[in-house]
Structure 1
Amino acid sequence: MCLESGLTRSKNSINVAIKNLADLGISIALFWAFGYAFMFGTSVLGWIGSSDFFVHVEATPRLAAFFLFQAMFCSTATTIVSGAVAERMKFPAYLILASLVSGLIYPLFGHWAWNGIDLDVSVGWLEQLGFVDFAGSTVVHSLGGWVSLASLMIIGSRTGRFPDHLPPRKIHGSNLPLSVLGAMLLWIGWLGFNGGSTLTLNEQVPSIIVHTVLAGIAGMMAAGMVSWYRCQLPEVESLINGSLAGLVSITACCHVVTSPASVIIGAIGGIIATLMSNWLERWQIDDAVDAIPVHLGGGIWGTLAVALFGQPELLDTGLSPVIQLGVQVIGILSCGIWAFGLTYLLLFITNRFLPMRVSIEAEQIGLNVSEHRAKTEICDLFQVMEAQAQTQDLSLRVPVEPFTQVGQIAQRYNQVMDALEEALTRTDAIVRTAMDAIITFTKPQLKIVTANPSAKEIFGYSINEFISMDIHQLLDWSTPAADDTDIGMERLLKVGRHEIIGCRVDGSRFPLEATVVETKSGQDCFYTGTFRDISERKKAQADLFRANQEITKLNERLKAENLRLSAELDVTRRLQQMLLPKEAELNQITDLEISGFMEPATEVGGDYYDILPYRDRVQISIGDVTGHGLESGVLSLMVQTAVRTLLESNQTDPKQFLDILNRTIYQNIQRMNSDKNLTLALLDYQKGILNLSGQHEEIIVVRAGGHIERIDTIDLGFPIGLDADIADFVAHLQVQLNPGDAVVLYTDGIPEAENAQGIPYGIERLCQILSQNWQQSAAEIRQAVIYDLRQHIQAQQLYDDITLLVIKQRKIFEV
């Protein structure tokens, strides 16, 4: 229970734990009723027992002890399956599977291999051939592994484990110290299993226990070294599973081998488990806790080791080593055919009529809630936050439990959501309902060929009236555009967005944003123009100013209510992280591999970043508000809201973008009587080209091969909110990215983070780590930097947010 709960996600930990408890109850109940009879009852031709149903133990203490000892073996074989199928199987379906293993599959195979061991006679047909499995490498462990493999082939992998056209995604455990505790407890149990399988306390027991310990240690060390060699670090899971695989491997032969042989057997078992885990991942078989590599891989190897390392005088089967090896292979194959074949057949049939896997929705919220309704106030709070992050539905509210600390947080969170929803309602409505007019016209006559329904709404003409109309009738060339520059058709046909004046059917004039591109179709050539009415945008900006003022008033009310500062900052930190782009969004960007990290500081530093794909482009922004505290955090949320509004309104011209954003934030800061401002970098990516604008920290480009290029952004912009007009300070810089190149963005919390001696982390150390890890994935580069940063600061408290964004080029584009 400890091992599997720690290796799975916390949202499924209750389900994993209760399955282990259910294993114990089901296996003992069925083993007492008829499993013991099938396994140890009077044999029918060495295949099945026929006596001792509902076994009575009152008159025979030895029988009582033997029954309880064997019932634990049955429970062990059953519970192996729970870890493999964790996080996706319905609880009723798992009960059926546990009943099948403990009531039928395990007892019958146990009869073949172990019937008569309590009387020191060989009755089962495998025993009679000379098959030796002292404490269950095959009878218990391989059998559980075969059942797990068949089950996984029926129910499939966890959602997101093997994304299409992407490397497998590792799903990390929630509590590795708990898993280590579980492994240690299993070691104690193993000493009892192997030592107790003599069925008497004799002189063999001490050496059996020593062999068991040596094999477990050897498996752990061997698996750890393989993991260290392959991953350049000792993975905790490899150490845990390597030790368990060593214990599984020695279980069949711990009574007939020498101490050096125990070390060899355990080490090979740990290596086999590590390699088998990689094979399963390659075959896209999702074993949540690596139960199959440990128990099936280690069990098969341990059974073969009986013939390879066992001392003939101790085996006492009368067989030569070669014949003994053949008998061991027969036992392994018979176990695989019986356990895998029967499980796959029965589960395949059952799954047709009673689906065994939970729905995708249930898997996403976790089996704790979907299967057992195990909810808490914190669970409700984070569930609503997660739903808002996924759907951007700000109408969702957290249930408020009065007179509790979490209830107070939920109440304040709902108040902030009320303010945000009110602020964004009008802007969101404009974004949702605004549709561009798309018009095609001929070259060079400029006669309209087609127009979409939105063109009718914007210009007022019917669809039929558009046909053969001259495009000039929709545009007013006599009136200067908003930037006081006459824009003719020649300039309009150039790449980019242009602000012009449109003409409606009633003669009215209105500001218009236009983009015209040349399109070729076979021998034909024509223009496609996208025209957007931007008159509502200016109204939206005024609405945004008022909305920001309302958020400021909310902040003042919260302070007036004397809400504890820690609770306020906690809400702000949660909001900061909730609005960050999610991994599912980033995985949809095929050209780039993106991995971000954001950790709000104790006092909240106002950091944020955002990634928005649209058409064939990707807009990336990263910013940092001056100062700390709730005011900075709220201002960062305002900035992100405004940036998203502008980007989703297709406002991508850097000069206009930063100018509008600056005027919005500057006026809001004036109303707040605040001295806040922020640095902001905008990155516009398209087909290997990255356009940079806005003043922020240095941008680091890590070329394939580890060469570092540092780009100073001091001349690309001006701090946002510091001055009413920054348009003259906006510039841009273009960077060509090649496959393997990475772009690293960060806020000043990283280079300025100090250790106990007051020494800052610094840009040079950051560049050194990036140069050393350029071959890694974006996520691994990010992890390496954060790990090195934590090694630098140790236990020092962070007073500024830590924000890091790693962007890595995937494709090759022609320049």
Structure 2
Amino acid sequence: MNKDMAQEVIEILTSNIDTLWVIDCAILVFIMQAGFMCMETGLSRHKNSINVALKNAADFGVSVVIFWIFGFGLMFGTSYNGFFGTDLFFFKTDKAEYMTYFVFQAMFVATAATIISGAVAERMKFNGYLIMTVLATGIIYPIVGHWAWSSSYLSKYEAVDQLLAITGTVKTTGWLSDLGFVDFAGSTIVHSVGGWIALAAVIILGPRIGKYSEANKGKFTGSSFPLAVLGTLILWFGWFGFNGGSNGAMDEAVPLILINTFLAAAFGLLTGLGISYLRFKKPDPFYIILGPLAGLVAITAGCNSMTSVTSIFVGIIGAIVAIIVNEILNKFEIDDVVGAVPVHLAAGVWGTLAVGLFSDLSILDTGLDRFSQIKIQLIGIISIGAFTFISSFIILSLFNKFYPLRVSPVQEELGLNIAEHNAVSIEHDLITILDKQSESGDLKIRGPQDPFTAGGVIGLYYNKLMSKLETSEDEKNKWRERISKEVKLAVKVQENFLPKRNLKNYPVHGINIAAREVSGDFFSFYPHNDSIYFIIADVAGKGIHAGMVMAKASTLFEVLAQSKVDPDEMVFHMNNDLSNTKTAGMFVTSIVGEYSLITDEIRWVNAGHQPAILRDGQGKYNQFESLAPPLGVIKQKDKSVYNIQKTKLNGSRFYAFTDGLSESLNDKGDEIGIEGSIDIIEQNYNKDTNKQLDSITKTVISSGQNQKLSDDLTLISIGK
């Protein structure tokens, strides 16, 4: 074998090794999809776990198909002035190197898509999420990827001649790569892009209902931190392929890439652990998850061009940045379930900037000095961030107007597993079976069983018990009655988990007198151990339609009050849900509030309703007006439209009533108004509030024409 032949064989073997290396790395990146699924499912509540898992599977399929159809072409095709590609759509080739590169890049685009999934979890419609995936992976990601990475289709395999045969042109570089912007494996192109889109989406969607209520602090925790930690470790494992495969070859640069990736993550984890000890005096699981992921994202941009000591520093700062941004988001009530924005956006921005600050300029090979490299990195960060956030925010906002991306409050409270996917709940089914058993006494009925859930294990033993009972005919009748009683008792015990409507221990009273068969007025109280929620509302309209709107508003109140949502957030969600409902022009005026038994403080929001009235211990009355709009008139973007009013009762009594009182007539046939309503309340004042409300009702009816109400009369009182 001569020297030329030997060289040719070496090149072929090297090429095959490089191809095999990239394929193996692509498989590692694919495994990251499972890591995202585990982490996001573990950090979401159990009632939404199926929805989160299905999103992670579905977005992979959607993103790969869209990328094959036109995403790859937009990203790597012939460049139009460095802004986007114009060919290579429906990508096909017989070159192994090209196939390998497509597979690897397809894994990257799927990663960018699934970053968004965790941020919007627990409140976004499944179909809306798929639409957002198409936007992210088919348009935004390929375009910004073209700006910085389009030249990689040439440089990785030095295939200028082959590419010329396909595209007919040499121009393949994007405008950012022409300037010298460097993002080795995608701290910005993949992670920050996903983070920017996630930020736009969570701002549009708003936080989960009750997430930032005072009563719910610490209650919105994940369903399984062990599963979330497993997901984190899987992501860490897959990241070696993410960064290592971006080198495009198995050469002497790979060991440095891998050790930098490993060290940045490890020190990121220790940083999260250390900060959690400083803040909470104990290891916080969320910080321990946040730390290594932020370190991985931060080092991704410069893992091939930094020393190991520098990578440690980059990982530490990445974790600190992510934790700070996470706290900032919580301060402004921007709800990111899994910390996607702090980890992928914030740490990604830091990592991309760190390339200019710390990388070996000879490895970057851009021909720029240190200051110029930093400037170009900033230009890339700002331009990509601005384009991604603004375009995604505008498109999603417009789409949201025609097809609401968020599920209804009732669906959110029920859980997306059931609301979006009709998934069954073992516990719910078991209680249904027990209830049916208690009614019929039929021992042949069997409950659902599953050795992997608490309810399923109960069902398993319950079924064994039923089977044993059936085998003994002599004992069946004796046991039938006993088991039936036990089952009824079990049902009652289950019911005791729900709050009762026994209001004896609460200083609240209400009365509703309908002028017609169906009332558009309603009031309701929802008690908790240390407080009680209340609502009084008047639907603008009469008859069946008003009754249906009233039922919808009442249901929303029940759902939100059960979750201890603050009154302003409750009214905000009720308004937006009702405004999305076709109510034939009807709207609802309402007062919604909460009274605390502990502090004696009452907090309420008035949504276009008549003023609330407060009577102090000396018989003086204060009116609390409101300029907030009624519910259902127009969709609101911010809950601050509905301001909370609050005061301590200290022996005072709080009243709220519908216009059935204020528009009732006096002896002269004139409407009594608010002042007249106050006079009636005072005239009939009684320490026994029930007697007072009854007397007020009789007074209004007796003064009306034909001794009948002209409108529904609803009145509530809070306070002793």
CA distance in 1, matches of 2:242, 2:501: 45
AA in 2 matched with 1:302: G
Shift of 1:560: 2.9
Moved more, 569-578 or 127-136: 569-578
Which whole-Å deviations, capped at 9, do the CAs of 1:595-653 have from their partners, x for residues lacking one? Answer: xxxxxxxxxxxxxx99376899xxxxxxxxxxxxxxxxxxxxxxxxxxxxxxxxxxxxx
Partner amino acid, structure 1, of 2:210? G
Which residue of structure 1 aligns with residue 211 of structure 2?
161
Q: Distance in 2 between matches of 1:250 and 1:115?
A: 21
Partner residue in 2 for 1:300: 349
Q: Could you say if the C-alpha distance between residues 170 and 376 of structure 1 is closer, same or farther in structure 2, counting changes exceeding 3 Å?
A: closer
Matched residue SS, 2:366 = coil
The answer to whether the aligner puts 1:233 opposite 2:282 as a matched pair is yes
The structure having more radius of gyration, on CA atoms, is 1
Match status 1:404 vs 2:426: no
Shift of 1:561: 3.1
1:182 match: 231
Displacement of 1:405 in angstroms is: 3.6
Deviation at 1:383, TM superposition (A): 8.4
Higher share in strand: 1
* Distance across 2 between alignment mates of 1:313 and 1:274: 33
After TM superposition, the structure 1 = structure 2 runs for residues 533-612 of structure 1, keeping only pairs within 5 Å, are 560-561=479-480, 575-576=492-493, 578-580=495-497, 611=529
| Matched residue type, 1:194 | N
Matched residue SS, 2:107: helix
Identify if the C-alpha distance between structure 1 residues 574 and 29 changes in structure 2 by more than 3 Å, giving closer, same or farther: same
- SS of equivalent residue, structure 2 residue 247: coil
- In the TM superposition, 1:630-709 aligns within 5 A as none
Q: 1:207 aligns with which of 239, 247, 256?
A: 256
SS in 2 for 1:87: coil
Identity over aligned residues, as a percent? Answer: 43
CA–CA distance in 2 between the matches of 1:211 and 1:28? Answer: 29
1 CA distance for matches of 2:228 and 2:443? 34
- Cα deviation, 1:481-516, whole Å, max 9, x if unaligned, reads xxxxxxxxxxxxxxxxxxxxxxxxxxxxxxxxxxxx
Instruction: Give the partner amino acid of 1:365.
Output: L
5+ unaligned residues in a row in structure 2: which ranges?
1-36, 159-171, 450-455, 463-474, 508-526, 535-595, 602-720
In structure 2, C-alpha distance between the alignment counterparts of 1:559 and 1:297, rounded to whole Å: 68
C-alpha contact 2:49 2:417 (8 A) present in aligned 1: yes
Is contact 1:90-1:358 (8 Å) kept?
yes
Match of 1:48 among 81, 84, 88: 84
Q: 1:177: how far off?
A: 1.4
Alpha-carbon distance between aligned partners in 2 of 1:278 and 1:384, rounded to the nearest angstrom: 45
Query: Which portions of structure 1, spanning 4 or more consecutive aligned residues, are displaced by more than 2 angstroms?
Result: 165-170, 376-385, 396-410, 556-564, 567-578, 580-586, 609-616, 684-689
1:256 aligns with 2:299: no
Match of 1:242 in 2: 291
- Cα deviation code 1:683-716 (max 9, x no counterpart): x977689xxxxxxxxxxxxxxxxxxxxxxxxxxx
Aligned residue in 2 for 1:108: 143
CA distance in 2, matches of 1:47, 1:113: 10
Give the one of 349, 362, 365 matched to 1:313. Answer: 362
Deviations 1:445-489 (A, max 9, x none): xxxxxxxxxxxxxxxxxxxxxxxxxxxxxxxxxxxxxxxxxxxxx
1:570 Cα deviation from its structure 2 partner: 9.1
CA 1:589/1:75 → structure 2, altered by over 3 Å: closer, same or farther? farther
Partners of 2:232 and 2:293 within 8 A in 1:
yes
Please give the alpha-carbon distance, in whole angstroms, between the structure 2 residues aligned to 1:398 and 1:290: 50
Q: TM-score, with normalisation over the residues of structure 2?
A: 0.57
Indicate conservation of the 8 Å contact 1:581/1:610, yes or no.
Answer: no
Q: 2:271 aligns with which of 222, 231, 235?
A: 222
8 Å Cα contact 1:253/1:302 also seen in 2: yes
* Alignment partners' CA distance in 1, 2:486 and 2:283: 37
Q: Shift in Å at residue 380 of structure 1? A: 3.1
**Distance in structure 2 (CA, Å) of the matches to 1:399 and 1:260:** 72
| Residue in structure 2 matched with residue 379 of structure 1 by the alignment | 428
Q: CA deviation at 1:168?
A: 4.8
The match for 1:172 is: 221
Q: 1:244 to 1:132 in 2, by over 3 A?
A: same
TM-score, structure 1 length as denominator? 0.51
Taking the aligned partners of 2:532 and 2:110, their CA distance within structure 1 comes to: 54
Partner of 1:25, secondary structure, is: helix
Q: Is the contact between residue 5 and residue 17 of structure 1 (CA under 8 Å) also seen in structure 2? A: yes
Q: Partners of 1:399 and 1:138 in 2: how far apart?
A: 64
Partner Cα separation in structure 2 for residue 116 and residue 248 of structure 1? 23
Equivalent residues of 2:429, 2:447 under 8 A apart: no
Structure having greater relative contact order (Cα 8 Å, sep ≥ 6): 2
Q: Which residue matches 1:715?
A: none
Matched residue SS, 1:38:
helix
Residue pair 2:531, 2:598 contacting (<8 A) in 1 also:
no
8 Å CA contact retained: 2:196, 2:385: yes
Q: CA RMSD in A?
A: 3.9
Q: Contact 2:197–2:389 at 8 Å: present in 1 too?
A: yes
Find the aligned partners of 2:278 and 2:323 in 1 and give their Cα distance: 12
Quote how far apart the aligned CAs of 1:558 are.
9.8
Distance 1:53 1:336 in 2: 26
Q: Residue 406 of structure 2 corresponds to which residue in structure 1?
A: 357
Equivalent-residue separation in structure 1 for 2:224 and 2:85 (angstroms): 43
Paired amino acid for 1:83: G
Contact preservation (8 Å) 1:162, 1:168: yes
- Name the CA distance, whole Å, in 1 between partners of 2:86 and 2:53: 35
Give me the whole-angstrom Cα distance separating, in 1, the residues matched to 2:296 and 2:178: 26
Task: Give the secondary structure class of the aligned counterpart of 2:306.
Answer: coil
1:232, CA displacement in angstroms? 1.4
Q: What is the Cα deviation at residue 379 of structure 1?
A: 3.4
Paired position in structure 1 for 2:388:
339
Matched, 1:20 2:51: no
**AA matched with 1:312:** L
Change (3 A) 1:237 1:401: farther
CA positional deviation for 1:378:
3.0
SS at match of 1:93: helix
Q: What is the total number of aligned residue pairs between the two structures?
A: 450
Match of 2:176 in 1: 126
